[in-house]
């Protein structure tokens, strides 16, 4: 039985996407603006196929449904996480996500969407939208109606290596010239507040979801000032831990063993190259370590992001 599997990524064309998934990561992507690599996903909108081992050719959702013992028997009606690389050549819409309770009620039983971003690249003097300054739904709606975006939105300067936790209810937008690794709940529910009046190829505007957004925005959240991480005190740095996921940044220079006593561990190589348990990997490699893998044997010079329950 394979304790680590490789998956075939699913690529998503987006109006704001670019070509860096090809030029910077070497993925074979479709023509046109490609904004997202769903690298580890069992979501119906992008269900990754297993590339290696005894279960090759099956989907990750099939493995979750049929062989839950490989995931330590953890409960849940769907594989709970989704790992993406997002290449924003243009600004993403101003948007917000619901929590589990709202999504379950209003989005056909979907999970909500808690997510986090690790910045892989950003153009000089780039910013990102994380949070807003209205204190009520009435004030938010009025500021949107009056186009007071610079007053309303909280823009934060960013650089490579910054990290942002985006809770449900947090208004946010990745801006053009930015690439991030995203760990999120397995959900595809997004409420758009504003999309810059830009037209799709067929001349139509993408739909907005102001009513739902006003329902779910957290008007009490305090706007962030920075995504800068504290200095690391060792090779493994905790980025975030909440009820949905824990995310660690791992820096390898030589050899390193990292214990993985989890039902599963999502592994993404974000720079450099080396081996994981003897398997050659490089920037853009994504692996899923199953419950039987109790330790990652790492060698080389590389950075990885690990995500798990």
State the Cα–Cα distance between residues 109 and 179, nearest whole angstrom.
Answer: 30
C-alpha 108, offset from chain centre: 22
Helix residue ranges, H only, the chain: 20-23, 60-66, 100-106, 137-145, 149-152, 210-216
Which residues lie across from 153 on neighbouring strands? 132
- 3-state helix vs strand vs coil in the chain, percent to 5: 15, 45, 45
**pLDDT over threshold 70, residue 1:** no
Q: Judge whether residue 185 has pLDDT over 90.
A: yes
How far apart (Å, rounded) are the C-alpha atoms in residues 69 and 196?
A: 47
DSSP 59: B
- Which residue is listed with tokens 């060792």? 234
What are 231-289's pLDDT values in tens digits? 999 999 999 999 999 999 999 999 999 999 999 999 999 999 999 999 999 999 999 99
Give the pLDDT confidence score for residue 273 in this predicted structure: 98
What integer pLDDT is reported at residue 176 of this predicted model?
97
Q: According to the model, what pLDDT value does residue 299 have? A: 98
How far is residue 11's CA from residue 57's CA, in Å, rounded to a whole number?
A: 17
Q: What angle do CA 18, 60, 251 make, to 5 degrees?
A: 60
Residue 179 to residue 185: CA distance in whole angstroms: 19
294: phi then psi, degrees, rounded to nearest 5: -95, 0
What domains lie within the chain, and their CATH numbers? 4-216 (2.60.120.10), 236-308 (2.60.120.10)
Which pLDDT value is given to residue 114?
98
CA 178 to chain centre: 13
3-state secondary structure of 270: strand
Quickly state the pLDDT bin for 2 (edges 50, 70, 90).
confident
pLDDT of 165 higher than 70: yes
Closest CA to 289 of 247, 246, 260, 269: 260
Q: Which residues of 104-121 are buried (b: 16+ CB within 10 A; e: fewer)?
A: eeebeebbbbbbbbbbbe
Average pLDDT on 118-145 reads 97
Question: How far lies 47's CA from each of 51, 59, 84, in Å?
Answer: 12, 6, 12
Mean pLDDT of the region 191-210 = 94
Task: List residues with catalytic annotation.
Answer: 192
Q: What is the pLDDT of residues 57-107, one digit of tens each?
A: 999 999 999 999 999 999 999 999 999 999 999 999 999 999 999 999 999
Strand partners, 287: 6, 267
């Amino acid at each position: 039985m394979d304790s680590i599997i490789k998956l075939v990524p699913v690529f998503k064309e987006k109006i704001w996407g670019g070509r860096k998934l090809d030029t910077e990561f070497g993925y074979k992507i479709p023509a046109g603006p490609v904004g997202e690599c769903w690298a580890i996903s069992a979501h119906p909108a992008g269900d990754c196929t297993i590339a290696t081992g005894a279960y090759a050719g099956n989907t990750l959702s099939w493995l979750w449904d049929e062989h839950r013992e490989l995931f330590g028997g953890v409960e849940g009606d769907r594989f709970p996480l989704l790992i993406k690389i997002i290449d924003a050549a243009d600004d993403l819409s101003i948007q917000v996500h619901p929590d589990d309770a709202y999504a379950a009620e209003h989005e056909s039983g979907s999970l909500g969407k808690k997510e986090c971003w690790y910045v892989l690249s950003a153009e000089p003097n780039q910013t990102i939208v994380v949070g807003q300054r209205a204190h009520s739904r009435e004030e938010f709606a009025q500021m949107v109606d009056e186009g007071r975006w610079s007053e309303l939105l909280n823009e934060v300067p960013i650089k490579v290596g910054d990290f942002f936790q985006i809770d449900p209810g947090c208004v946010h937008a990745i801006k053009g010239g930015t690439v991030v690794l995203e760990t999120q709940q397995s959900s595809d529910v997004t409420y758009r507040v504003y999309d810059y009046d830009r037209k799709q190829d067929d001349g139509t505007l993408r739909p907005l979801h102001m009513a739902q957004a006003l329902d779910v925005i957290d008007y009490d959240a305090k706007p962030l000032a920075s995504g800068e991480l504290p200095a690391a005190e060792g090779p493994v740095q905790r980025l975030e831990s909440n009820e949905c996921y824990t995310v660690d940044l791992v820096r390898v220079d030589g050899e390193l063993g990292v214990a993985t006593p989890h039902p599963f561990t999502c592994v993404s190589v974000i720079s450099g190259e080396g081996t994981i348990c003897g398997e050659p990997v490089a920037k853009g490699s994504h692996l899923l370590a199953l419950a039987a893998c109790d330790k990652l044997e790492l060698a080389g010079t590389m950075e990885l992001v690990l995500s798990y329950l």
